[in-house]
């Protein structure tokens, strides 16, 4: 009598985020994290020591009753203390609820009320804001300072010497983080990240045609840790043993230029407005940043003139990308060596995420190339349901509607052509602000451009153009609008030009169109 052979098996190796730091601590112990202080000095630590500190903080949190499924909130800038607190929270199966310090106390209190975080850990200079937030809550959580003396106890006061917590041992689908959307189009919604989703997102980000980070790189994270996991950099950089360079609170051009030069940064990541400040500083001083090889941008459309300026002035390759908080957050990336691409291109999806163009009713377009449609996505790191909601955020077939209008080229290259909610309906016909902004934003005199709808008795809405000019530049209104003739339909041309000394920016660095509409759209 014969028996069927016993099938083989693979080890059950849970995809939890603590593994990135334990790997870095073991195999890249002396590489680590560099943090810029406000006085110009730097703090640095190797991954082995960072892991020890994070495990000690984990033990302190456990002693306070924090465990799997609990929320601990952070209100902090990009720093070593913030990174080790992240791993300390996530390593024991709790979820890190990142709070955006650029929001109001009322907004933050609303978010904390939803997450019911039991502890809030804040940067020393943000303690007053944290106290204002907690004063609005019926049952305020414990408040601790993350990085130094303040009016409250510091996190270190809870840490006992030589006591470290064990990490892992929970399901890889356990929540690891909570981040609320920026709220630029409505009330912020909470997105719950899981260990498995972020682990797979990290592996996708590290591919050669995506971020392509290696152990020899020194990566400047100018994108904030309090929004969309800092695009996954606190996981991806330790995962390969690269050096993570953090600017603290200061992301102005002068501080970033100094940090890049002193630390030999090779890759810099952030929204376009950050790099505008850098290049303008370098133009004023005549300094250079020769170590810098690549600049990765996302979060907002890349003005073509700025992209050309960065590549010419800095001698770097600019990688454009597109993503959302709901995507953990990376969606598409232009590969580092992608030739003949435009600033409007956001690159292609890597394995693990898929794209679909639909009509306004969510019906898939019969042709998916060289047509404009409403963009939907699905994948292992895409939201299925918002925090606290019962109904799914996806349609019946699992696709998430991004709210973006997009075009996919023959080669699979994605171009975001606008936001569905930004469309202006004038006389019963639609006007796409993004197309107008792309033309005006390419003018060498223009630093930033935005188009919003203004109420009109006859047409319902008419577009107006809002611009911020580059320092020392000037251009007449008729020249700004004249650049649009022959490029867009005549009736798309804005009725007025509003000049601002500084474009209002939302908490994530995007142009704040809600504010522009409130102040100039009536």
Q: Which two tokens stand for residue 330?
A: 């990376």
Q: Which two tokens stand for residue 522?
A: 């009536």
Tell me, yes or no, if 491 is annotated catalytic.
Answer: no
Compute CA distances 504 → 105, 318, 418, 455, whole Å: 19, 24, 19, 21
Catalytic residue among 326, 459, 468, 508: 326
SS3 label, residue 172: coil
> 190-225 burial string, b = 16+ CB within 10 Å, else e?
bbbbbbbbbbbbbbbbbeeebbbbeeebbbbbbbbb
Residues 6 or more apart whose Cβ sits within 8 Å of residue 58: 87, 88, 89, 91, 92, 164, 165, 167
Catalytic residue among 104, 214, 430, 473: 430
Tell me, yes or no, if 492 is annotated catalytic.
Answer: no
Compute CA distances 429 → 102, 228, 274, 403, whole Å: 36, 35, 35, 19
Is residue 115 within 8 A of residue 178, CB to CB? The reply is yes
Tell me, yes or no, if 181 is annotated catalytic.
Answer: yes
Taking Cα atoms as reference points, which of 292, 221, 230, 236 lies closest to residue 262?
Answer: 292
Tell me, yes or no, if 231 is annotated catalytic.
Answer: no
Compute CA distances 41 → 274, 285, 289, whole Å: 21, 21, 19
Annotate 32-99 with DSSP letters as a single string: EEEEE-TTS-EEEEEHHHHHHHHHHHHHHHHHTT--TT-EEEEE--BSHHHHHHHHHHHHTT-EEEE-
Burial bucket for residue 502 (CB in 10 Å: 0-12, 13-18, 19+):
exposed
Strand order from edge to edge, sheet including 400-408? 353-358, 372-379, 400-408, 414-419
Indicate the angle between helix axes 253-263 and 272-285, nearest 10 degrees: 80
Catalytic residue among 214, 285, 367, 425: 425
Taking Cα atoms as reference points, which of 443, 419, 414 lies closest to residue 431?
Answer: 419
Sign of the torsion angle spanned by Cα atoms 390, 109, 222, 408: positive
Is residue 357 within 8 A of residue 368, CB to CB? The reply is yes
In the DSSP assignment, the letter for residue 477 is H
Cα 244 from Cα 129, distance rounded (Å):
27
Round the CA-based radius of gyration of the chain to a whole number and report it.
Answer: 24
Catalytic residue among 85, 98, 181, 243: 181
Cα 500 from Cα 467, distance rounded (Å):
6
According to DSSP, the residues that pair with 175 across neighbouring strands are 194
- What amino acid positions are annotated as catalytic residues? 181, 326, 425, 430
């Amino acid at each position: 009598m014969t028996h069927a052979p016993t099938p083989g098996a693979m080890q059950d190796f849970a995809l939890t985020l603590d593994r990135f730091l334990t790997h870095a601590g073991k195999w890249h112990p002396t590489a680590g994290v560099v943090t810029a202080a406000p006085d110009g000095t730097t703090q640095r630590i190797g991954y082995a020591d960072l892991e020890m500190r994070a495990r000690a903080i984990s033990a302190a949190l456990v002693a306070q009753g924090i465990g799997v499924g609990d929320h601990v909130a952070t209100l902090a800038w990009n720093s070593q203390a913030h990174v080790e607190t992240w791993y300390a929270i996530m390593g024991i199966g709790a979820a890190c609820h990142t709070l955006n310090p650029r929001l109001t106390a009322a907004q933050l209190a609303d978010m904390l009320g939803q997450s019911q975080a039991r502890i809030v850990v804040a940067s020393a200079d943000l303690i007053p804001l944290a106290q204002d937030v907690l004063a609005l809550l019926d049952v305020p959580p414990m408040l601790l300072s993350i990085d130094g003396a303040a009016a409250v106890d510091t996190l270190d006061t809870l840490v006992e010497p030589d006591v470290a917590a064990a990490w892992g041992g929970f399901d890889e689908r356990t929540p690891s983080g909570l981040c609320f959307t920026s709220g630029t189009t409505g009330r912020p919604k909470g997105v719950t990240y899981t260990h498995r989703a972020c682990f797979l997102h990290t592996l996708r980000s590290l591919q050669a045609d995506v971020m392509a980070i290696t152990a020899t790189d020194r990566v400047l994270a100018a994108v904030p840790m309090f929004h969309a996991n800092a695009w996954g950099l606190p996981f991806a950089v330790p995962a390969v043993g690269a050096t993570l360079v953090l600017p603290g609170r200061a992301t102005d051009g002068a501080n970033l230029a100094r940090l890049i030069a002193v630390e030999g940064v090779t890759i810099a990541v952030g929204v376009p407005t950050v790099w505008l400040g850098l290049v303008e500083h370098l133009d004023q001083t005549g300094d250079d940043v020769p170590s810098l090889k690549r600049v990765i941008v996302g979060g907002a459309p890349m003005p073509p003139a700025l992209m050309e300026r960065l590549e010419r002035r800095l001698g770097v390759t600019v990688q454009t990308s597109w993503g959302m908080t709901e995507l953990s957050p990376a969606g598409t990336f232009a590969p580092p060596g992608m030739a003949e691409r435009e600033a409007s291109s956001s690159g292609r999806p890597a394995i693990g995420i898929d794209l679909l163009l639909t009509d306004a009713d969510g019906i898939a377009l019969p042709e998916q190339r060289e047509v404009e449609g409403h963009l939907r996505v699905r994948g292992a790191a895409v939201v299925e349901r918002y925090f606290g909601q019962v109904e799914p955020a996806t349609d019946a077939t699992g696709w998430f509607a991004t709210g973006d209008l997009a075009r996919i080229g023959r080669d699979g290259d994605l171009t975001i052509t606008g936001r569905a909610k930004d469309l202006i309906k004038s006389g019963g016909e639609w006007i796409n602000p993004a197309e107008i902004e792309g033309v005006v934003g390419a003018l060498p005199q223009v630093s930033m451009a935005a188009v919003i709808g203004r109420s009109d008795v006859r047409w319902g809405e008419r577009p107006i153009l809002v611009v911020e000019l580059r320092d020392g530049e000037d251009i007449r209104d008729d020249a700004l609008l004249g650049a649009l003739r022959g490029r867009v339909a005549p009736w798309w041309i804005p009725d007025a030009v509003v000049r601002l000394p500084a474009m209002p920016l939302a908490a994530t660095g995007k142009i704040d169109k809600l504010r522009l509409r409130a102040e100039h759209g009536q």
